[in-house]
Amino acid sequence: MLRGELREEVALAVDVGPPHVWHQEVVGPGYAAGHDGVIKDYFLVRTTAFRPRGSMSDDELAREHIAGFRWWRLEDIAGHRGSKVFSPRDLAAPLGAFVTGGVPDTPVPLGL
């Protein structure tokens, strides 16, 4: 499933299943319209830089809540003060721990 999503949304082919590094479950009214919460899993995909653009049209991407693509450095994420939020909200902290501590043996649970 992950490999299909990567190919479809950003045109990245992954031969081997990447390591599962984070797991997030958020339950509560109003968090996701029409749902009682969300479950998100995060994987480490190592790749060289490329221009992300998969097979989906702009309308199809919009239905997936994808408005654009951008490469972010850790310091850009930590210093971001715009109106958009990351998922998880404090992405800089777990990403910083991941960058300095390496790939976890089991997925690290994340909060909102």
Q: Is the model's pLDDT at 70 over the cut of 90?
A: no
Question: Using CA of residue 89, residue 8, residue 57, residue 72, what is the dihedral sign?
Answer: positive
**Alpha carbon 40 to chain centroid distance?**
8
If DSSP codes are grouped into helix, strand and coil, which group holds residue 87? Answer: coil
Concatenating the DSSP letter of every residue in 88-112 gives STTTHHHHHHHHHH---SSPEEE--
In tens, the pLDDT along 22-56 reads 999 988 877 777 888 889 999 998 888 888 888 88
Number of domains making up the chain: 1
Tally Cβ neighbours within 10 Å of residue 77: 15
pTM above 0.85, yes or no: no
pLDDT band, very low/low/confident/very high, at 78 (cuts 50, 70, 90): very high
Q: 59: domain range?
A: 2-110
